[in-house]
Chain A
Amino acid sequence: MLIKRKEKWQESENSVTGENAYLNRRNILLGAAAAGAATIIPSVLAQPQRKLNALSARKTDYSPGESPSPEEAITQYNNYYEFGTGKSDPAQNAWRLQPKPWSIQVDGLVDKPATYGIEDLIDFNALEERIYRHRCVEAWSMVMPWIGVPLSSVLKKIGVQSGAKYVRFETLADKEQMPGLRWPVLDWPYTEALRMDEAMNDLSFLVVGLYGKELPNQNGAPVRLAVPWKYGFKHVKSIVRISLTEEQPVTTWQASAPREYGFYSNVNPEVSHPRWSQARERRIGEFGRRPTEMFNGYGELVADMYAGMDLARNF
């Protein structure tokens, strides 16, 4: 890990983990939870999981200085409603997903609209590992060792036309592979979007791997978004379509509950979700709650984009 300057998103090891002792405790606690889960749901684990190939990636200096959350937590505690609404449903059901081969439809205001194979959009020889904080709108958080490429590298490939102001993403919606689609929890397919400057921001990352390997199905294989200054639900999974638009797209959660989920959904401890306070969060594995940071601690990289905007209204 190359730390040249110390920025807010690269807090030093001891400033954040001054609680080293507790970090230890945390891992023990999580190990314990995993072992407990394993004893309770052995039948679940009987389903063959896809073998995840190792990915080679260069380390970058995006690192909050906190150790990544345990792999079992990241891969067994998920919100991925296409596989069920329970936190352990995705880990149980996502084996049905077929991430290979994978193609992505690219349309709208682009120079080269087409259906691309994933390898044509993502340069698997240029993968980076970035450690990002991940803050769910439900007030829990983890630390993720993602592997991927900047979203901007893909946008450059497809050619952004001058009128394009937004990037819209769609998740796969296939009843055969996704049992959760049988019940209309949300208006499928799951749709998310970014403003063009947000999409071009260096932090916006297309993720294809986790913990040195290919992305597990339940985490959004084969390709998902990571925008760490925004709540987790903006991190659209298993992307099958990327469209560039002039109009601001309506996202799935916005359509479901416009009062609760805004277009921007930036992490903001001062703006509460109508049903949750966002002031604090539980880092998975800790007993207490810690304060939530503005833009999840990435303000220096992203706050400029929102200068002059009323963030309480544009939530």
Chain B
Amino acid sequence: MPEGMNTVTSITTNQLRRYGKPIVFLALLVPAIWLTWNWWLAFQYQPNGLGFNPQETSNRFTGDWAMRILLMSLALSPLAKLIKSPKPILFRRMVGLFAFFYVCLHITSYVWLDMLFDWVELWADVMKRLYITVGFAAFLLFIPLAVTSTKGWIKRLSARRWQTLHRSVYVIGVLVIVHFIMMRKGFQAEPLIYAGILATLYLLRVKRVRALLGRA
């Protein structure tokens, strides 16, 4: 095992709970704070970082962060197995809920700042534009996962059924990448990079692949 990983595993679970969690929490909040601050500036007609099409910037910014944080949450279990320590799992619920939070911001950005609550136009958009339909499906699948993320729900559902339910996150991951590839015009590299990351994370879940890595 490389040096760095030793250091990680030598931090105690208690230290991670007491200091690690608040630090990660604040770090994941940074993009949301940046966005809120810049929208506040925009509404005051102050210089801001949202560019010439603030609605487009904010739809994309929130979509990007929702997807990145979702990928981070998906990376925690493979990481735990790779470093043979359950510690990364401590962060799984928080990171997963943050991904959901950014999806909510993404939808708020689109429904409020972009579409200005024009529900007729919105419904037409969701039905007509396939990439929005796909994003919407991902969101709907995400809701039960966010709701059942608590300890109470794990008990109520039994750990096994809870696990089965939470496997739908694989489907969400695929839908999100499809949503991303579809909304970009032409053949672009960026969505494919994210698709590659997602595929890698899925492959790392296969025992055989991990075994191969372990031997290498």
Contact = CB atoms under 8 A, between A and B. Distances in A.
Interface of A: 25, 28-37, 39-40, 72-73, 76-77, 81, 85, 87-88, 140, 183-186, 256-257, 272, 274-277, 279-280, 282, 284-285, 287-289
Interface stretch (B94-102, B145-153, B160-168, B184-192): B184-192
Interface stretch (B19-27, B48-56, B170-178): B48-56
Given A32-B47, A33-B50, A256 B41 contact: no
B194 to A, nearest CB: 15
Interface stretch (B8-16, B127-135, B204-212): B127-135
Contact of A40 (B49, B130, B190): B49
A29 B53 contact: no
B187 A275 contact: no
Contacts of A31: 47
Interface string B29-63: 00000000010011001111111111110000000
A185 B50 contact: no
27 contacts: A29-B42, A30-B52, A31-B47, A32-B46, A32-B48, A33-B47, A33-B51, A34-B52, A36-B38, A36-B50, A37-B49, A37-B51, A73-B52, A76-B52, A77-B53, A81-B186, A87-B52, A185-B187, A256-B186, A272-B128, A274-B130, A276-B129, A279-B121, A280-B121, A282-B55, A284-B52, A289-B116
Contact of A275 (B46, B55, B131): B131
Given A36-B38, A186-B187, 18 more contacts: A28-B45, A31-B47, A33-B50, A36-B51, A40-B49, A72-B52, A73-B52, A85-B188, A87-B51, A87-B56, A184-B187, A186-B186, A275-B129, A275-B182, A275-B183, A276-B129, A277-B124, A282-B55
Contacts of B187: 183-186, 256
A56 B156 CA distance: 77
From A35, A81, A85, A280, residue with most partner B Cβ within 10 Å: A85
B212 to A, nearest CB: 31
Contacts of B41: 32, 36
A185 B186 contact: yes
A28 B41 CA distance: 12
Interface size class of B (residues with CB under 8 A): 20 to 34
A212 to B, nearest CB: 21
B116 A288 contact: yes
From A29, A73, A277, residue with most partner B Cβ within 10 Å: A29
Nearest to A39: B47
A26 to B, nearest CB: 10
A32 B130 contact: no
Nearest to B44: A32
B46 to A, nearest CB: 6
Contacts of B50: 33, 36
A301 to B, nearest CB: 29
A87 B137 CA distance: 28
Closest 5 CB pairs of A and B: A35-B47, A77-B52, A185-B186, A36-B47, A28-B45
A33 B129 contact: no
Contacts of A256: 186-187
Contacts of B54: 33
B23 to A, nearest CB: 26
Contacts of B56: 87, 140
A274 to B, nearest CB: 7
B117 to A, nearest CB: 11
A33 B188 CA distance: 27
Contacts of A88: 51
A287 B124 CA distance: 21
From B54, B131, B186, residue with most partner A Cβ within 10 Å: B186
A216 B51 CA distance: 19
A287 to B, nearest CB: 8
A30 B125 CA distance: 28
A308 B186 CA distance: 32
Nearest to A25: B45
B52 A183 contact: no
Contacts of A184: 187
B51 A77 contact: yes
